[in-house]
Amino acid sequence: MLVLSRKVGQHLVIGGGIVVVVKRIAGHRVTLGIEAPGTVKIIRGELPVFGTAEDEAHHETEVVIETAKPR
């Protein structure tokens, strides 16, 4: 793992046209901007990553079922 220190406005360039920009630092919270080609999938680390179309279809079905429950 590469660990870097960056200041607000500084960039980190990753191959494949991906640029990470430090937008704001407030206390222990850092806001990042990510520029990437439309073909690059960017997912927050705490969210599940679905690798296959079957996984994604299953997830979409779960959301529909959950939102269809009576209140």
pLDDT at 67 over 60: no
| CA–CA gap between residue 42 and residue 34 (Å, rounded) | 9
The confidence band for 52, taking pLDDT boundaries of 50, 70 and 90, is low
Q: What's the pLDDT tens digit per position in 4-41?
A: 999 999 999 998 899 999 999 999 899 999 999 988 88
Query: Cβ distance 50 to 62 under 8 Å?
Result: no
- The answer to whether residue 53 sits within a structural domain is yes
Would 20 be classed as within a structural domain? yes
CA–CA dist 2, 16 (Å, integer) = 18
- Residue 12 CB neighbours (<10 A): 14
- Note whether residue 5 is domain-resident: no
Q: Is residue 2 part of a domain?
A: no
For residue 23, tell me if it sits in a domain. Answer: yes
Domain that holds residue 51: 11-68
Q: Is there a domain that residue 24 lies in?
A: yes
Name the domain count of the chain: 1
- Residue 66 above 90 pLDDT? no
Q: Is 22 a member of any domain?
A: yes
